[in-house]
Amino acid sequence: MALIDSQITTKVILNVFKGTDGLMRMTDGGITDFTTVDATRVIDPDAYTAAYQPTGEIRIAVQLLDGSCRYPNCTVSAQHCDIDHVINHDENGPTTPDNLACLCRFHHNFKTEQRVHYSIDKNRIATWFFPNGVIKKSQPGGVKRPPRFGQSWKKHEDQRVRARRQAKQG
């Protein structure tokens, strides 16, 4: 009855990434001008924390980028996955979207028990290495990361270091 009386209110949540060019990229790959988006929160795909646990922003960025568990052919939704450090945090693996991946609890335990190892390249393609020598790859099922427009890895790292130093001083 409330629908007929028009007493229902809705809230639309649009997840966007802000590219280095200042444009907002929607999760379906579209582009919109920042002035047309009432963004209450913009996800930074380059966010960093020194802590082991990812911040809420980092968690959302990884979930949006991956879409589901990164184990080959696993379809568990990213929202139901653990966030795993590709390079373990205690081995100096940073807590950044580039070093984190969505793994369902079952496959996260596989990795933790060292029954399988994996790496992720700059395009978020995961390469899985199995004890019997088999190698499998899995594509991310989420949104495409905003382009960095030819930004070098060194420049990217320098910017992250500078941001960390500023955060410590502030």
Per-residue pLDDT of the chain (170 residues; tens, 9 = 90+): 555 666 777 666 666 666 555 655 554 445 555 555 555 566 777 889 999 999 988 998 899 899 999 999 999 999 999 999 999 999 999 999 999 999 999 999 999 999 999 999 988 999 999 999 999 999 998 876 655 555 555 666 677 677 777 777 76
**Structural contact between residues 95 and 58, judged by C-beta atoms closer than 8 angstroms:** yes
pTM of the full structure? 0.67
Q: 161 burial class (0-12, 13-18, 19+ CB within 10 angstroms)?
A: exposed
> How remote is the C-alpha of 129 from its chain's centroid?
22
Q: What are the residue boundaries of the structural domains of the chain, listed by start?
A: 12-42, 54-143
